[in-house]
Structure 1
Amino acid sequence: MKLFELKAIANHLNDFTFISRARRVEDNTIELVFDKKESYFFTMTRGHSFIYKAPSQRPIQSYNAPFDTLLHSLLAASRILSVEVPGNDRILRIKVAPKSSYKDKVIVFQLEFTGKNTNAILLDENEIIIEALRHIDAQSSFRVIRPGMELLALPPFERKEERGELNDVDAFLEEQYTHIQAKKLRELKKQKLTATQKKIDKLKQLLDKLPSETELEREAGKFANYANLILANLYQIKPYDKKLETYDFEGHQVTIPFPKNIKINRISDYYFNLSKRSRNKAKNIHIEKSNLESKKTFYENIHYALEQATTPYELELLVPKRAKSLRKKEKLKEGELFWIEDYKVLVGRNSNENQKLLQLAKANDVWMHVRDIPSSHVIIRTDKQNLPDSVLQAAAKLCVDFSVKNPGDYAVDYTKRKFVKVQEGSNVLYNKYNTIHVTKEGVEIRV
């Protein structure tokens, strides 16, 4: 970020009276809302820091670190005293009077756009650090950034004069947002699509390797034949033999390998068990195939929804970056785990998983299903709380995205789990329900 740009932004922000909201919306991005209407975002990524202006954004996840708590309590609803760029450094200092203060207390929010030392620091009127986005210890720098320490000045820096003029600050910052958003969307979408495609390819490989019912029946017959031939020739098999060379009951020469670490008189049982296993697998292979195909379809629907997504929030909703670790923590064996505004959302990928989720759900959890068609079951864990409409809308969208491929208007019914009566498998009857209408478009999917 250039110094003349930062000075122009500081002059512009001095036109506002107060900060109505202060929060982190991404790991390194802070949103400040001025005068209840204008949102400015400060991305404090080391080596790539910048400011942009955009409509207020929902945080991708909840941030509850001490820095976030103090950022909200000290800056939200605070009165702006001054915004300035002191000296010749790319530092923005926002001086405010907190709403909660009963005395003339002053807080400084210092945003340092200084390459590898980029940081956001809360200070008191004596330049003592209250909290910071990043803590820096003495081993890393002479300038220690920790609560309770005095903030030292940056070393003098001779900067070449940066000439330029910024007439319309908002237009410049909005253009920054458009450019950054497009780049972020492309990179994030590529990452999510690649991860999802890997799952689709893996399921396709498993389907391709799946033996047919005929192959398994043939294998079961072969193993049964081996077992009978071993019994018929047991008298001539030596304890040290590694195979049996004989003729089958139709006069064809057969070589039967002996498994290691199994006694001669138990080898026939070994092959009888293999035959039984193959025969049972042949009976159930269609179920395994159906489960794999339904999971593959599930991820193909995610892939399609990712292609149509228009915001990073949609992408994170469809493929959350923290889903893997949270899934392990939850020990979820059936279905996919999603997080919508800190609410756990479970989605079944096939009939078996739908059935399992119905068993796992608590009485007051919210259950969802696309009306009149086979669809994923969605369970929202509520802990008896009233769900925000935004959570219900996002969960309904997931239910449609993961259940159907074709664009169109769909009705998603939802009710508490205690009003859902299981008939057979995952087939249910339900009453006392509400409905959310979701449009799945061919070019763009609305949230």
Structure 2
Amino acid sequence: MIDAFVLKKLVRELSELTGEALRQIHQCGKFCIELIFHRATIRICVEPGLAHVCLTNREDLSGQNPSNFVTLTRARLRNARLKEVGQLDLDRVLYFVFDKVDETGEKHEYKLYVELFGSKSNVVLVEKELVLDDLRAFLGKNASYVHTTDKMNPFEGSELKFEGNEMLSRFIVEKIAGFSKLTAQEVLYRAKIEDRPLSALDDREKVSLKLALVSILDDFEKPTCYVYEIQGRRHVFAYPLKMLGEPTERYDSVSHAVDEAYHWNSRKIQTDKLRQQLLSIVGERLKKQERLLQTLTEDLKRCEKAEEYKRYGELLKYADVQDSAQGVVECFDWETNQKVLVPLVLGKDAKRSAQYYFEQYKKLKEKAQILKVRIEQLQEQNSYLEQTLYNIESAETLEDLEEIKEELAEFGLIQKGAPKERKFEEANFRKFIYNGFTILVGKNNKQNEALVRKASDSDVWLHVQQSPGAHVVIRTDGRTVPKDVLLYAASIAAHFSKARYSSNVPVDYTLVKNVHKPKGSPPGMVLYTNYETVFVNPLDPEPAKKI
């Protein structure tokens, strides 16, 4: 999330707290702690994917029980005075130096190292270069804390020689401190050089590389920090990555940039995790019900034998028993005017066989009726689950997914949590304005249901035909809806559906008064009549028209 250059800028900001006493250490997550000073709070997070350090105004008072590390660190550092904030060799290691006089009057100097090494990120408490404890229990207690590097620090003015046969990008990463594979590509981009072996560089290209490095250092000295969204995560940089174009955000304060990126990424991770959890739950339930539906359908097909049993029973009822031989009876079929052979039930005569066939006929007919009802219920539930899968996939925010989670709890798919009363105000729906008409779009089954419930009878309701998708309502206010508005709303309905990547999508529309929810049906399931159909291409609504 942050690199060594950002860490260097952070050192400058955090150093403003030098001389202050540390009031408290608060644990706000398994791998996250806060150092609380009088004027500010420093958050240290070493959770993989979110590792960072920054000043923050948002103290987390979630009440996480302190770990052994935090308990020890509190005992050693509470009321200690911050002496220094530094960085080791332009590496992703920041340290705090604290002075403290204990109860006996003995002076101590403690160092708190923050290592931001991806999945190996850690916080280490050190005294006299010996490890007292570390947050993630990677290190042994009383082990020597050692940090070495042979990389060149570009801020120290050492002469850089591009010599050897290795690839240029690899040379930058392995020989120059502070650079990753991504930022090494930025150097090549600024130098306008493609990655190649060092031995293939000419003198002009070597000069271009040095100038590119100088330009990065010059940009670093400017106050602005840059946030880029890369592969679904936000990363903070101390200089612009020109190869990526315009940044997502710009900040004058590096802590503000890091703090905002952290909260954005944290919510994104929570959203992705919940989305996958819900997709897994609903997907597994749908597979299970589809298997059951197939089994019941096969059972229903076997029930078709009921008519054959009935025919056998009727034929045997009037059969001449003398015409029986080897377990079959020759019967006259008055429907076809032909003689047919009817099998007898093993161990039974013609009369009892007829009785058996009539009993089997009755059982299968009753079973068929039960199976038809059950199959219809399963088909309705599967339609609901398919719609829910689409809602989960298309959910835009964590709150949207939380609403779906609550809905699934009511449906019995997951355990119910504490009940939350939600009011589906108009602001919850997606809202678009087109040629003076308001178009509302539901985000999940409950919103779809609330959308129809709150609409007027004269409003127009739209839904993609025979496919999961959002309910769409055009507010008419008693006006006639022009054709262009109707087609625009239909295109939105196609976009917010499983058919969004198709073309010529059929979308049904009717007045809201013709839309009805069957009693006992799952949320969002409706029946509609007196509808017409238009064929449209899905349209992603223009941002300017979205409210």
Q: Name the larger-Rg structure.
A: 2
What's the TM-score once normalised by structure 1's chain length?
0.49
What's the TM-score once normalised by structure 2's chain length?
0.42
